[in-house]
């Protein structure tokens, strides 16, 4: 599929897809005319890249991580290095802290809403890790 189709199927701009390619996150075959041509696997790869960006990882870390993950095409998955596992654990812990902070913020808002409306504040447990 061409870059425009990949952009439509993933909701990611063509500019972002070109950036992913320059960062080594995505590869494309080239037609004799120089146009990018992606396999169907690229849809899952782009969705995975977007999820990792949303989790707060930067492109260098994503480039290290992607070879350790399997795409829907069933391509080979390299073993993660101990350093990468440690880095990813650190990232997960950072996300856990952000979730905890967001839950606390929501609880403060719930209390303010309840006080302002005269209702009791709802309780929400912390998510399981």
Are both 20 and 68 inside the same structural domain?
yes
Are both 88 and 35 inside the same structural domain?
no
**The overall pTM is greater than 0.75:** no
> What CATH number does residue 66 fall under?
1.10.1660.10
What are the structure tokens assigned to 126, written together?
């912390």
Are both 44 and 102 inside the same structural domain?
no
Average pLDDT, the chain: 84
Residue among 74, 16, 26 nearest 8 (CA): 16
Contact 111, 121 (CB under 8 A): yes
Are both 70 and 109 inside the same structural domain?
no
Are both 1 and 15 inside the same structural domain?
yes
More confident residue, 17 or 127: 17
**Measured distance CA(129)–CA(111) in Å, rounded:** 25
CA 75 to chain centre: 19
pLDDT tens-digit series, residues 1-53: 999 999 999 999 999 999 999 998 998 899 899 899 999 889 989 998 998 89
Using only the alpha carbons of the chain, give its radius of gyration. 20
Domain endpoint, select from 58, 75, 92: 75
Are both 57 and 1 inside the same structural domain?
yes
- Count of domains in the chain? 2
pLDDT at 83 over 80: no
Structural domain harbouring 7: 1-75
Percent of the chain scored above 70 by pLDDT?
83
Are both 3 and 46 inside the same structural domain?
yes
């Amino acid at each position: 599929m061409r870059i425009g189709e990949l952009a439509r199927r993933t909701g990611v701009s063509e500019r972002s897809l070109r950036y992913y390619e320059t960062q080594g996150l995505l590869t494309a075959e080239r037609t004799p005319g120089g146009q990018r041509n992606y396999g169907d696997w690229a849809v899952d790869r782009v969705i995975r890249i977007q999820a990792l960006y949303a989790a707060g990882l930067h492109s260098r870390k994503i480039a290290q991580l992607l070879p350790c993950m399997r795409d829907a095409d069933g391509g080979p998955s390299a073993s993660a290095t101990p350093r990468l596992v440690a880095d990813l654990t650190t990232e997960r812990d950072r996300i856990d802290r952000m979730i905890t902070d967001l839950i606390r913020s929501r609880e403060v808002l719930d209390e303010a809403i309840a006080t302002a409306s005269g209702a009791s504040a709802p309780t929400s447990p912390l998510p399981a890790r």
